[in-house]
Structure formats: C-alpha cells, structure tokens
Amino acid sequence: MNLEKVIFGFFIVLAATLNFGFFIGDIDNPVHHDVYELFAAIVVNLIATVLKFGDRTQIGAVHLSTSLVADLQLLAAAMVWGYGTHILGQGMTPEITTSVVSLSGGALFANIVSVIILIAETIMQRR
C-alpha cells in the first residue's frame, strides 16, 4: 500500500464530505449551516489543493483545476458570510445564507468531480 496515495485520497474524500456536511440542510436556514464547518471545508480543500500540485499528468491537471474551483467557491462563500455578518451587520439573513450555501454547492460539485476522477484513475491503474 502506498501511504502517499492513501493520504491523497483521504484529503480528497474528506474535502468532499466536509463540503457536503455544510451544504446539506434548508438552503435559507442559517441554523443548518455552521461557520466552523465551512472553515474546516476551506482548510481541507486548501490542503487537498497543495497535495495535487506534484502531479504532472493530464489527470493531475484536471484534479488541480477542480480543486482550485472548489477553493474559489468556498472562499467566495466565506467572503459573502463575512460581508453579510460584519460589514452589513444584518447577520445571516435567509438571502445571505442562500448565497453562501449556493456557492458551497458549486464547490461540492467540483469536489464530486474530483472524487470521480480519483475513482476512475484508481480503476485504470494496473498492478
């Protein structure tokens, strides 16, 4: 067993599951979406992105691009959250919550694509 591949797969799947955990729930109910879960999803996605930098194959490039998309979407969600709560001072209104959750949904889709690529790459490998 290759420890590097285990760690790589672990962070890809963990990024997707944390993102899914934040995404699930009523789209406009801020009680269903925790800021710390969003923070954890951002951190794990950034770690997964760093792990993808070493691969120089075409599949590696697609892995990296999906990870960059997820990072961008999650960072945008965090900025909308911060803007709504700290700059507007309104707190997490249903409109702001909907925007944050929608952006995290885009990141979730990118993470799912990354997991599918990981599975396809694993199936294609021969011993």
Tens of pLDDT, residues 24-80: 999 999 999 999 999 999 999 999 999 988 778 888 899 999 999 999 999 999 999
Q: Distance between CA 83 and CA 107 in Å, rounded?
A: 19
Domain spans in the chain, listed from the N-terminal domain onward: 3-124
Both tokens of 115, joined, read 């997991």
Q: How confident is the model at residue 127 (pLDDT cuts 50, 70, 90)?
A: low
Task: Decide: pTM greater than 0.85.
Answer: yes
- pLDDT of 89: 86
Amino acid at 3: L
